[in-house]
Amino acid sequence: MKLFETIKKMGHEQIFFCHDEESDLKAIIAIHDTSLGPAMGATRLWPFASEEKALQDALRLSRGMTYKAACLNIPIGGGKGVIIANPENKTDKLLRAYGRFVQKLNGRFITGQDVNLSVEDVRTIRSETNYVVGVSEKGGGPAPVTARGVFLGIKAATEFCLRTQELDGLKVAVQGLGNVGKNLCHYLHEHGVKLFVSDLNRENTEYIKHLYGATVVEPNEIYCLDVDVFAPCALGGVLNSATIPHIKAPIIAGAANNQLEDEQIDSMLLESKGILYCPDYVINAGGLINVYNEMIGYDEENAWRQLKNIYNTLMEIFIRAKQEELTTHEASKRLAHDHILRAKKLRECVAK
Ligand code: NAD
């Protein structure tokens, strides 16, 4: 990878390579854009196949955080931390060493919990730094808020695409019934939606079938259903050249991160099939709204009010995409860039 060429193209400000001899820590902290505020991004621990793959992950995910916050007008920037390690080799010493690096950035980077780190691990990191979010009891965890945001996103999409304000009687296929998926099923059922669900874990599907009378389908069948909305709430990369041809739902609106396997190709493919895709980093921004509110002093009413922005922002993206003949993916990127540019101009005016 030509490092400076890559970060110039992607728009990153700074990359930190962190090494600690004693704990054998190898970590990368990527700071994408701090025009709107300090860079925030959770830290994941993963046995990356190569250092280049770890760097790519940090670069891509930190840029995603910038876009997410910018689209929703949340005054923070985009960052991401990756620790290159096997989860079996995760030690307190390693986590504390990482925490000391975060502390050295003095608030320029604020982090939290992601893949292979538990809330307990994040508390260990916090023992060395003040710049950690998502460990407080006050927010009640991000998943219910994320699910509520996805629910509001589904409302925006059905209103725009199906011209209906009522969800009653609509059919929604939910892939993945973990922390977010099960909460989403609750909100949808409350509004009279007929649920179709899949999960690799049979206990999860039986639970949702029992609670909400959902129809359970095999994991590979979920794409092919004749439903109004497909809600991916499991893994990334599920929208690709193998799955998209089977999708009959006119709307895709779910919580999973990085749903498009190839952002450019797959967003065009969805567009060509007339499918309305809700950009994942916008519709799943409830988690970020939750941690941001924890950072500024949690006020539930405030957090739930900000969630409504997910509905408004998605509407803005749908309208812009239609007017400018763009994919919704491209329209959301342009919206984020507009908000960042406006913030930069405002700062220049204040400095003059
Ligand atoms: P989770 O780990 O609690 O749940 C994921 C569920 O998906 C599990 O039940 C798992 O068995 C199931 N699953 C895995 N592979 C599957 C497959 N092929 N088919 C069907 N089911 C499958 O995760 P979560 O917290 O509910 O998050 C779900 C997604 O939303 C993730 O992509 C996550 O990155 C994203 N997200 C979550 C939050 C949050 O607040 N938790 C915020 C933003 C984005």
* CATH classification of the domain holding 216: 3.40.50.720
Do 114 and 170 fall within a single domain? no
Examine residue 343 and state whether it is found in any structural domain, yes or no. no
**pTM of the entire structure?**
0.90
Q: Sheet of 229-232: strands edge to edge?
A: 215-216, 194-198, 171-175, 229-232, 251-252, 276-277
Per-residue tokens: 6: 């890559």
Examine residue 295 and state whether it is found in any structural domain, yes or no. yes
Find the residues whose C-beta lies inside 6 A of ligand 1: 142-143, 146, 175-181, 198-201, 204, 219, 233-236, 255-257, 284, 287
- Per annotation, catalytic residue among 9, 53, 68, 80: 80
Q: What is the pLDDT of residues 186-212, one digit of tens each?
A: 999 999 999 999 999 999 999 999 999
- Environment class of residue 195 by beta-carbon count within 10 Å: exposed (0-12), middle (13-18) or buried (19+)? buried
Do 319 and 229 fall within a single domain? yes
Do 105 and 195 fall within a single domain? no
> Total domain count for the chain?
2
Q: What is the pLDDT of residues 253-307, one digit of tens each?
A: 999 988 999 999 999 999 999 999 999 999 999 989 988 988 888 787 888 888 9
- CATH classification of the domain holding 104: 3.40.50.10860
Examine residue 274 and state whether it is found in any structural domain, yes or no. yes
Examine residue 263 and state whether it is found in any structural domain, yes or no. yes
Q: Which atom of ligand 1 is nearest to the CA of 290?
A: 40
- Give 3-state DSSP helix, strand, coil % of the chain, rounded to 5: 50, 15, 35
Do 201 and 231 fall within a single domain? yes
Instruction: Write out residues in the chain with pLDDT < 50, as ranges.
Output: none
Do 89 and 162 fall within a single domain? no
Q: Which domain holds residue 96?
A: 3-59+76-133
Helix or strand or coil: residue 42? coil
209 as an active site residue: the answer is: no
Per-residue tokens: 297: 């002093």
> What is the H or E stretch that residue 288 is in?
helix 286-296
Do 187 and 314 fall within a single domain? yes
Do 318 and 286 fall within a single domain? yes
Examine residue 281 and state whether it is found in any structural domain, yes or no. yes
Do 150 and 244 fall within a single domain? yes
Do 194 and 321 fall within a single domain? yes
From the CA of 251, how far away is ligand 1's center (Å)? 19
Examine residue 64 and state whether it is found in any structural domain, yes or no. no
| Residue of 205, 243, 257, 292 to test ligand 1 pocket, by largest number of atoms within 8 Å of CB | 257
Closest CA to 78 of 113, 44, 48, 108: 108
| Residue of 199, 218, 259 to test ligand 1 pocket, by largest number of atoms within 8 Å of CB | 199
Per-residue tokens: 89: 């080799």
221 DSSP 8-state letter: G
Do 149 and 87 fall within a single domain? no
Last residue of a domain, one of 101, 133, 165: 133
Do 176 and 296 fall within a single domain? yes
Per-residue tokens: 57: 């992950």
Do 188 and 282 fall within a single domain? yes
